[in-house]
């Protein structure tokens, strides 16, 4: 018997190896014919490995399941030797020898950790972002991985939600461009190369809009808002060729995303023509019971699978329920086969039927991790990600002639926090802290250091030391923010103030009247009004990754001139949330005087720092904005031109932003929507003309019938340095 089975596999295997051109459909058909229903259910089941560094943690229950051919993939297992061991179990010991898929949350780097995604998004640098994903894929694929659970494409207007750290911010245009860049980076030249990993677009859909910013909470939104603002980044990632999609935990308008055929069938398959498979999020099939939309495991399985979630992550529901659902006639065999076919298709395209071990080379792994060029790319990405929020006293860039600097703050010498959340196989011990970075940049300067206070506890113990060190120094660098564990999954907050006693520490240090540079490490917009009032200099560093301290030293000492711009609005207070730039005018827009217009009685409407905001060490002046014609007929393009001059003393890059406002349309339009951006490098004194082409598509929106159309009428074309400081001209669409 064993021989026959082995022989069957041998034939199937070698047919696959025999020719690249061998028809995958035929191959998969013949495999399906040999599979039992249990084995098919197994292909639709993804289980987690309890990974630790020794790599031997997989539980016995999974070993048995793998050998029984009841596992489609394992996640959280990585390392060439370890994945080989698991793959050998699947290939050599299961009846049909179907190889496993190995997935992992490689979100912003695998071993070489890049800045967190929100930080990378602040660079608005699509090439650099694609490169970051490419490097992550090179490292991931060298450690046996085939599949990464990224990019996260959830738009969010609510920084209380901790996962804004993993996304690209609040704007669909910017986030779409970034989503596509990430997919291209991960999937590289395609799966024929063993250095491409399959991307997974998550969390479909609207997971970034939970009520009150509370993790996993329900999402209730109109289809207009969904289509206009929330869906575009997922679509961009699908259009860029992402092979898989992850369904979200939340319910959308009452229907959990994991069993939502409107999302998974109508939008994803019928409208977007997505051909790959959908994996549930961690136990989200089981959570249908908690949502109250399924009565038992069988019903949850049936509704999730038939709505379009092909793979069950960790709930065990598919494995346990599919066989009797099919046997009893509740689940069509054709639905099961169609799902299995898609999983096998990815394995086929990854070349795993030709060589299940093509990703498991220890030799390649040794050469590929944390290469110098990867570390350099991470450092460069980190510099590009930082946003200069304030430099009123022109303290920055700092002079290398400084002889005594006090570095104060609970994050000043943290290596682990620099990696942020979801740091994959990153090792905090290998990260460069700010203190490390300063020491190597300024070997002859005395750098004194104290934490000043704990990062979260109400403790002032170290305040006196901090005050003493600050008083004795020529300059103080205050490193404040959130610990990395405070952002990411399940980290919603109701206060966005600096945690612990950090604000009090800052107050004490700032009251000394010394030159103080504040460096912030955080994964979300914080409410920093008080800091903004009292500190002259604030640099937003986010979580910059492995090379954090080196990149920061480059920026602080002017070897890199900051150019990042905020991808998400910084509110003045939690009470303003959601506050975002592409808001509507309302019927009673705030006019600056009348009580009964749209405003707060205790706060300005405007945020602290708007979307797109970010300073440079140099200054840029925008000239007049002109258009080559002031009307568009049919598919004509208008060219908008603006003159940009570097009027300061440093060479620098400016991210020039194009926004469009539809003045009158059948659905009340946003005040502006980002429609283009360019990163322009200018030497001191240099001027360049920056041009954008604008066509009908840039003027389109979803009308009340949910059709994307451009309506004739007047539009404002706005170009400038952020979403509030803009030059405007009008054009008309005929
Ligand atoms: C839950 C998270 O929501 C998702 O983003 C992640 O990919 C899975 N867990 C797997 O770790």
Mean pLDDT by 10 residues, the chain (734 residues): 36 41 84 98 95 72 95 96 96 98 98 98 98 98 98 98 98 98 96 94 98 98 98 98 98 98 98 98 98 98 98 98 98 98 97 96 97 98 98 98 98 98 97 98 97 94 96 98 98 98 98 98 98 98 98 98 98 98 98 96 97 98 97 96 98 98 98 98 98 98 97 98 98 97
What residue ranges of the chain are covered by domains with CATH 2.60.40.10?
620-733
Active site residues: 281
128 alpha carbon – ligand 1 mean position (Å): 25
Say if residue 212 is exposed, middle or buried (CB neighbours under 10 Å; 0-12, 13-18, 19+): exposed
646: left (phi over 0), alpha (psi -120 to 50) or beta: beta
Name the strand (E) or helix (H) holding 397.
Answer: none
C-alpha to C-alpha distance for 316 and 332, rounded to whole angstroms:
20
pLDDT of the residue at 461: 83
Q: Which residue has the tokens 């010498």?
A: 413
498: left (phi over 0), alpha (psi -120 to 50) or beta: beta
Atom of ligand 1 nearest to the CA of 249: 3
Tell me the two tokens of residue 388: 């200069």
Smallest Cα–Cα separation from 161: which of 37, 250, 87, 52? 250
Atom of ligand 1 nearest to the CA of 166: 5
- φ, ψ of residue 416 in degrees (nearest 5): -60, -45
What is the Cβ-side half-sphere exposure of residue 42, based on CA atoms within 13 angstroms?
24
CB 74 within 8 A of CB 100: yes
Q: Are strands 652-662 and 713-720 parallel, antiparallel or unpaired?
A: antiparallel
Protein residue whose Cα sits closest to atom 10 of ligand 1: 282
418: left (phi over 0), alpha (psi -120 to 50) or beta: alpha
Compute CA distances 337 → 11, 65, 341, 353, whole Å: 21, 20, 6, 18
By most ligand atoms within 8 Å of CB, the mutation choice from 50, 161, 281 for ligand 1 is 281
446 alpha carbon – ligand 1 mean position (Å): 44
Residues with CB under 6 A from ligand 1: 105, 149, 202, 281-282, 489
By most ligand atoms within 8 Å of CB, the mutation choice from 49, 105, 156 for ligand 1 is 105
Compute CA distances 440 → 237, 565, 571, 640, whole Å: 40, 28, 36, 46
What is the assigned CATH class of domain 382-576?
A: alpha beta
Q: What is the pTM of this model?
A: 0.96
Atom of ligand 1 nearest to the CA of 149: 7
249 alpha carbon – ligand 1 mean position (Å): 10
What is the assigned CATH class of domain 620-733?
A: mainly beta
107 alpha carbon – ligand 1 mean position (Å): 10
C-alpha to C-alpha distance for 375 and 379, rounded to whole angstroms:
6
pLDDT of the residue at 187: 98
Tell me the two tokens of residue 491: 């980290």
Residue-wise DSSP of 21-77: TS-HHHHHHHHHHH--HHHHHHHTEEEE----TTS----HHHHHHHHTT--SEEES-
315 alpha carbon – ligand 1 mean position (Å): 13
C-alpha to C-alpha distance for 153 and 355, rounded to whole angstroms:
32
3-state secondary structure at position 731? strand
Q: Which residues contact 511 (CB under 8 A, 6 or more apart)?
A: none
C-alpha to C-alpha distance for 551 and 382, rounded to whole angstroms:
6
C-alpha to C-alpha distance for 562 and 552, rounded to whole angstroms:
10
What residue ranges of the chain are covered by domains with CATH 3.40.50.1700?
382-576
- φ, ψ of residue 117 in degrees (nearest 5): -55, -40
- φ, ψ of residue 143 in degrees (nearest 5): -110, 25
Atom of ligand 1 nearest to the CA of 200: 7
Protein residue whose Cα sits closest to atom 7 of ligand 1: 149
Smallest Cα–Cα separation from 383: which of 512, 509, 559, 249? 559
Q: Which residue has the tokens 């999302």?
A: 263
């Amino acid at each position: 018997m064993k021989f026959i089975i082995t022989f069957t596999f041998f034939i199937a295997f070698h047919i696959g190896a025999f020719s690249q051109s061998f028809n995958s459909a035929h191959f998969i058909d013949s495999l399906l014919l040999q599979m039992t229903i249990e084995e098919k259910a197994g292909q639709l089941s993804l289980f987690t490995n309890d990974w630790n560094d020794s790599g031997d943690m997989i539980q016995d229950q999974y070993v048995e399941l793998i050998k029984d051919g009841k596992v489609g993939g394992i996640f959280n297992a990585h390392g060439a030797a370890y994945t080989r061991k698991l793959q050998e179990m699947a290939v050599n010991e299961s009846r049909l020898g179907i190889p496993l898929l190995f997935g992992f949350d490689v979100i912003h780097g695998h071993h070489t950790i890049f800045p967190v995604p929100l930080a990378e998004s602040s660079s608005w640098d699509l090439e650099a972002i694609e490169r970051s994903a490419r490097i992550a894929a090179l490292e991931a694929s060298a450690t046996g991985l085939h599949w990464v659970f990224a990019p996260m494409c959830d738009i969010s207007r609510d920084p209380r939600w901790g996962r804004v750290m993993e996304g690209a911010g609040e704007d669909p245009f910017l986030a779409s461009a970034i989503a596509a860049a990430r997919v291209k980076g991960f999937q590289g030249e395609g799966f024929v190369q063993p250095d491409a990993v399959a991307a997974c677009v998550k969390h479909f859909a609207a997971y970034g809009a939970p009520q009150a910013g509370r993790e996993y909470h329900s999402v209730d939104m109109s289809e207009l808002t969904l289509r206009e603002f929330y869906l575009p980044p997922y679509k961009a990632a699908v259009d860029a060729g992402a092979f898989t999609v992850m369904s979200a935990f939340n319910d959308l308008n009452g229907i959990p995303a994991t069993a939502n055929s409107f999302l998974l069938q109508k939008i994803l398959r019928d409208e977007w023509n997505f051909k790959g498979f959908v994996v549930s999020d961690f136990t989200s099939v089981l959570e249908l019971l908690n949502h109250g939309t399924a009565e038992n495991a069988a019903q949850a399985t049936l509704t999730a699978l038939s709505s379009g979630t092909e793979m069950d992550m960790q709930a065990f529901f598919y494995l346990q329920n599919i066989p009797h659902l099919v046997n009893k006639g509740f689940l069509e065999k054709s639905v099961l086969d169609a799902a299995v076919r898609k999983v096998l298709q990815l394995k086929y395209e990854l070349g795993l039927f030709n060589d299940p071990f093509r990703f498991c080379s220890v030799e390649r792994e040794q050469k590929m991790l944390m290469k110098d060029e990867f570390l350099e790319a991470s450092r460069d990405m980190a510099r590009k990600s930082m946003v200069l929020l304030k430099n009123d006293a022109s303290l920055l860039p700092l002079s290398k002639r400084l002889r005594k600097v006090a570095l104060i703050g609970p994050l000043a010498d943290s290596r682990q926090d620099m990696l942020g959340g979801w740091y994959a196989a990153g090792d905090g011990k290998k990260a460069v802290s700010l203190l490390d970075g300063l020491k190597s940049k300024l070997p002859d300067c005395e750098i004194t250091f104290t934490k000043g206070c704990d990062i979260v506890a109400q403790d002032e113990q170290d305040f006196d030391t901090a005050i003493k060190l600050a008083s004795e120094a020529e300059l103080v660098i205050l490193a404040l923010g959130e610990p990395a564990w405070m952002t990411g999954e399940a980290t919603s907050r109701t206060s966005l103030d600096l945690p612990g006693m950090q604000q009090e520490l800052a107050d004490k240090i700032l009251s000394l009247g010394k030159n103080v540079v504040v460096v912030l490490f955080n994964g979300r917009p914080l409410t920093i009004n008080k800091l903004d009032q009292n500190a002259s200099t604030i640099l937003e560093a986010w979580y910059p990754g492995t090379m954090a301290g080196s990149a920061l030293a480059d920026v602080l000492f002017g070897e890199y001139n900051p150019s990042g711009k905020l991808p998400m609005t910084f509110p003045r207070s939690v009470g303003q949330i959601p506050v975002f730039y592409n808001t509507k005018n309302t019927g009673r827009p705030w006019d600056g005087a009348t009580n009964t217009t749209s405003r707060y009685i205790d706060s300005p409407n405007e945020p602290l720092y708007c979307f797109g905001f970010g300073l440079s060490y140099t200054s840029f002046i925008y000239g007049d904005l002109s258009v080559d014609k002031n009307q568009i007929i049919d598919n004509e393009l208008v060219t908008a031109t603006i003159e940009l001059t570097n009027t300061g003393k440093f060479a620098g890059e400016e991210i020039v932003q194009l926004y469009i406002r539809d003045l009158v349309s059948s659905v009340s339009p946003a005040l502006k929507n980002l429609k283009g951006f360019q990163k322009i490098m200018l030497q001191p004194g240099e001027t360049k003309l920056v041009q954008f082409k604008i066509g009908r598509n840039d003027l389109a929106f979803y009308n009340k019938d949910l059709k994307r159309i451009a309506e004739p009428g007047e539009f404002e074309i706005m170009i400038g340095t952020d979403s509030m400081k803009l030059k405007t001209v009008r054009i008309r669409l005929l």
